[in-house]
Amino acid sequence: MRDEVTKHINEHFNINPCHLTYGGGPAGTTALRGHIASFACCVNEVFHPSSPVKANHIAICNGAGPAVNNFCFCVGEPGDGILLSKPLYTRFFGDIEHGSKLKLVQVPTEGVDPSHRSTRSILQNIDLLSDEVYAQSWLPSKDCPEPEPFVSILNFDLKKYINPALIQVIYAMSKDLCANGIRVGCIISPFNDELLAAFKSISGFTRAGQLAEQVWLNLLEDRSSLDWYYPEMRRRLAASYDYVIERLEEQAISYSPASTGVCIWIDLGEYLERDTQEAELALDWRLAKAKEWIAMGATFGSEKHGNYRITFATPRADLELGLNRLFGILRDIRE
């Protein structure tokens, strides 16, 4: 979808003198925050908040990662822990640990009952940051023809379950709008003015550029384009996903079915010489030396050796080349 996003940017973007200034300040322009919050645009149609989200509940920064970093800086002291279930996105290590000096604590989920009394008893008065950057990136597939719709944490009547001040949401244009390089995102904090004020106080270090903000604003304002874009994105994601799993099944490679996001978790454990992380790294190097790179599971905190991540949101020609090369290497190992 990058061609379509690029076309929209080029057709709707004009630089004016305001873009050469500091604009609306380090926490973002009122226009962009208002469109994120408005009923006509992103938050209220995708997130369906149970309580209204307003412009003054939002602070803009240069991406979802910096938003996580700023949040950690505001809520914790050096050495405090952030609980994160695994497998996890690798950039969280830097986002959580480098600036705030907090510690990322990886939480295993296999065999854990989240509703168990002992689990619930320790999860008291803990801040919860909900990363919802894939809100629109769900897909129907052969594995899951009718996937569960995305439900934002803001959709719940939070007062029934938790102090709402403990809940914050991260969103950005990086995933749903295929624009990682534009570098603009936000934190949404409808119930905690104190945290939002702290976030804004350090926003000068992570402010988004005026041009980046304008690009996101232009897209959010164009409802007709978005009404076409999101269904088409999901259609293409589904087609790419189904293509990859068909190829995997032909090679009898097991995988974890998915209905959200852009990646598939595959199991190459049978191709490891031993059931160790060192063997996983050795296979990773063998693939890399043959000009094939897929991310190994240890990087993401996988609970099993031999898991690898394939990104299927890729042009078909690149997918075909990568899969053909991968299967050729695995064939050589088998033989």
CA dist., res. 310 & res. 319, Å (int)? 9
Number of residues that make up the chain: 335
The closest alpha carbon to 189, from 96, 67, 89, belongs to: 67
Q: How confident is the model at residue 119 (pLDDT cuts 50, 70, 90)?
A: low
Q: How many CB atoms lie within 10 A of CB 320?
A: 14
* Of the candidate ranges 70-74, 98-102, 110-114, the one whose mean pLDDT is the lowest: 110-114
pLDDT of 39 higher than 50? no
What is the chain's Cα-based Rg? 21
Q: Over the stretch 135-168, which tens digit does the pLDDT of each residue have?
A: 999 999 999 999 988 889 999 999 998 999 999 9
pLDDT value for 206: 95
pLDDT > 70: what percent of the chain? 95
Question: 294-328: per-residue pLDDT in tens?
Answer: 999 999 999 899 999 999 999 999 999 999 999 99
Residue type at 254 in one-letter notation = S
pLDDT in tens, 123-134: 778 999 999 999
pLDDT in tens, 279-296: 999 999 999 999 999 999
C-alpha closest to that of 53 among 64, 63, 41: 41
Question: Does the pLDDT of residue 41 top 60, yes or no?
Answer: no
Rounded CA-CA distance 287/282 in Å is 9
* Distance from C-alpha of 8 to C-alpha of 16, rounded to nearest angstrom: 18
- Determine if the peptide bond prior to 17 is cis (ω within 30°): no
Mean local confidence (pLDDT), 242-246: 97
Please give the pLDDT value at position 23: 86
Q: Which residue has the higher pLDDT, 48 or 42?
A: 48
Positive or negative torsion for Cα 275, 276, 278, 283: positive
Note the pLDDT of residue 40.
36
Q: Rounded mean pLDDT of 15-41? A: 83
Beta carbons of 187 and 168 less than 8 angstroms apart: yes
Report which secondary-structure segment, H or E, holds 184.
none
For the chain, the average pLDDT equals: 91
Average pLDDT over residues 7-22: 92
Q: Which structural domains are found in the chain, ordered by start?
A: 2-221 (3.40.640.10), 228-334 (3.90.1150.10)
pLDDT attached to residue 44: 54
SS3 for 91-106 is: CHHHHHHCCCCCEEEE
Q: Is 125 left (phi over 0), alpha (psi -120 to 50) or beta?
A: left
Query: What pLDDT band is residue 116 in, cutting at 50, 70 and 90?
Result: low
- The answer to whether 80 and 186 have CB atoms below 8 angstroms apart is no
Over range 206-215, report the average pLDDT.
94
